[in-house]
Amino acid sequence: MSSKKEKDQEWELDELERAIVGIGEETYYNYRCPRCGYEQEVPDFVVDEFAAYDELPLGVMPELECGNCGGTLKCVE
C-alpha cells in the first residue's frame, strides 16, 4: 500500500498542466461603478461567464451590476 506522501506526489502537476486545467495565478479585472465610485476586482472566469451568457464578441467586456448601489460596474482598463 502506498503512503499519503506517494499519493500526493502522484497527483502533482507541472506548470503547463496547471495552466491547462486553470490552476495557478488568476487574472482579475478592475471594475468601477460610475454612479457611486465603488470598485471591485472581478476574476477572469466570472467575466468570461458573463461575456458568454451575453454572447458578447471576443474582447468586449461585460457590464456587471454594482453590489453597492445597483448601478452598472464597467471595466476600467
Lowest mean pLDDT among 8-12, 17-21, 48-52: 8-12
pTM above the 0.75 mark? Answer: no
| CATH numbers and ranges of domains, the chain | 26-77 (2.20.28)
Residue 63 predicted with pLDDT over 70: yes
Stretch (H or E) spanning 47: helix 44-53
Residue 1 predicted with pLDDT over 60: no
> Cβ neighbours of residue 70 under 8 Å, at least 6 residues apart?
none
Percent of the chain with pLDDT over 90: 58
Which has the closest alpha carbon to 39: 31, 28, 27? 31
Stretch (H or E) spanning 29: strand 28-32
Distance CA 23, CA 10 (A): 17
Q: What pLDDT shows up at residue 7?
A: 46
Pick 77 or 40 by higher pLDDT.
40
